[in-house]
Amino acid sequence: MQASGSSGRITIQPETTWGVAPSVPAMIELSSTAYGESLKSSSEEIVSNAINKYGATLATRRGQIKVDGSVPFELPVNNSDIVLYGVMGSYVQTDIVVNNVNKKKKVYKRGVLPSFTLEKGFTDVGQYFKYLGVKFNQLQLGVDPAGLVSGSVDVMGLKADVSTVSFDNNPTQYAHDPYIVLDIVTGK
């Protein structure tokens, strides 16, 4: 993020159809996003070799749009399932009881990778970059024995739109509660 600190945000929502934004916005804010994300869209300029009698190029066009980048994060307790779903594509959820508390257990399996609408927004300046047809390309996790579980996900996407209005002005927000390696080891 390049805007002023907390005024930048990244939100995400699964798509039903690849490259088509959901008809009802229900974005989730990735509160666990760390500094250093590199989401972007770009396209090469395609230049014709044909010239006129003055030596000027007769045609230039914008090439295919390329959407890619990396989103670093601290693995959160509350909404890590969207990252795992993005890199695995399928899960089976069952209800279990642990210490007399009802919980949900998800077992992730490799399946068809889902696509997402992802928005990088700068609320202080009213600039929003909506990326469509985004798929997770690579997941990297780091487990520091004396710290947090952190990582990054590399993405690639189909297209991008720019707007002065957010796709979802009221995304779901979760409290940021990152996994600490000690919690994983002790099961707390």
At residue 6 the predicted structure's pLDDT band, cuts being 50, 70 and 90, is: low
Q: What is the pLDDT of residue 23?
A: 95
Weakest-pLDDT range from 10-19, 137-146, 165-174: 137-146
- Of all residues in the chain, the percent with pLDDT exceeding 90 is 39
The percent helix, strand, coil of the chain (3-state, each to 5) is 10, 50, 40
Mean per-residue pLDDT over the chain, rounded: 85
pLDDT digits (tens, 9 = 90+) for 28-62: 998 766 667 888 888 788 888 888 888 888 888 87
Let me know: does 130 contact 161? Beta carbons within 8 Å: yes
The answer to whether 41 and 66 are in contact (CB under 8 A) is: yes
Instruction: Encode pLDDT of 52-111 as tens digits.
Output: 888 888 888 877 778 999 998 888 887 788 888 999 998 898 999 988 988 888 888 888
Q: Under a CB-based contact definition with an 8 Å cutoff, are residues 32 and 74 in contact?
A: yes
- Cβ neighbours of 27 (radius 10 Å): 24
Average pLDDT over residues 168-187: 77
Backbone angles phi, psi at 19, to 5 degrees: 85, 5
- Note the pLDDT of residue 153: 92
**What pLDDT shows up at residue 66?**
86
